[in-house]
Amino acid sequence: MKLNPQDLEKIADGTLEHYNQSAEDFWEGTRDHNVSQNIEALLQYIEGKPPFTILDFGCGPGRDLKVFAEFGHLAVGLEGAARLAVMARVHSGCEVWQQDFLKLDLPHNHFDGVFANAALFHVPGQELPRVLLELHATLKPRGVLFTSNPHGHNEEGWNRERYGAYHDLETWRRYVSAAGFVELTHYYRPAGLPREQQPWLASVWRRLAS
């Protein structure tokens, strides 16, 4: 069923309101999560010499944004929820853009890498091609996109107060490839567990040179 502009507004507003209302609990529940595997997966594929310009897309309270900055990279956060954006600025000391994922305003050919950790699954499937094209455009030629999302069987809808889309690997590949990216690698997380205990699908992609 096609979502109309009012539907999309409701999805964005409802999901962002959830994060604003639960900002402190979200921070306490995620601040100690170790995603070093994901950070390394992005950085190892960026070409050239550091420091790199990194967009932490959906940076939340700034946990990973601060890590990129401490590594010496030029890190910028992007967060839709106002309270999380404020927390990210305070925690990381980095610039943080408050932007709705469905209403992005990004510079072209600017970033060496985009780190979209636990973020893009909030984008409805019908809007995902456009959002991926916008991420493609904000990367420099041969820039790198990292994504990590909870995977599923291509279902989407409301999960309590948050909207989510849960793609399988083949569907996710079709979306990202269609936006002009080439897959570099993918893996499931947490590492070392049976697949049924690995809810997260991580993948790394390169923007073609053109």
For the chain, the domain total comes to 1
Tens-place pLDDT, residues 25-64 = 877 888 788 899 999 999 999 999 999 999 999 999 999 9
pTM: 0.96
- Which residue range forms the structural domain that includes residue 160? 5-207
| pLDDT score for 143 | 98
Percent of the chain surpassing pLDDT 70: 100
Mean pLDDT of all residues in 79-106: 97
In the 3-class helix/strand/coil scheme, how is the chain assigned residue by residue? CCCCHHHHHHHHHHHHHHHHHCHHHHHHHHCCCCCHHHHHHHHCCCCCCCCCEEEEECCCCCHHHHHHHHCCCEEEEEECCHHHHHHHHHHHCCEEEECCCCCCCCCCCCEEEEEEECCHHHCCCCCHHHHHHHHHHHEEEEEEEEEEEECCCCEEEEECCEEEEECCHHHHHHHHHHCCEEEEEEEEECCCCCHHHCCEEEEEEEECCC
Question: Mean pLDDT score of the chain, rounded to an integer?
Answer: 96
Q: What is the CATH number of the domain that holds 190?
A: 3.40.50.150
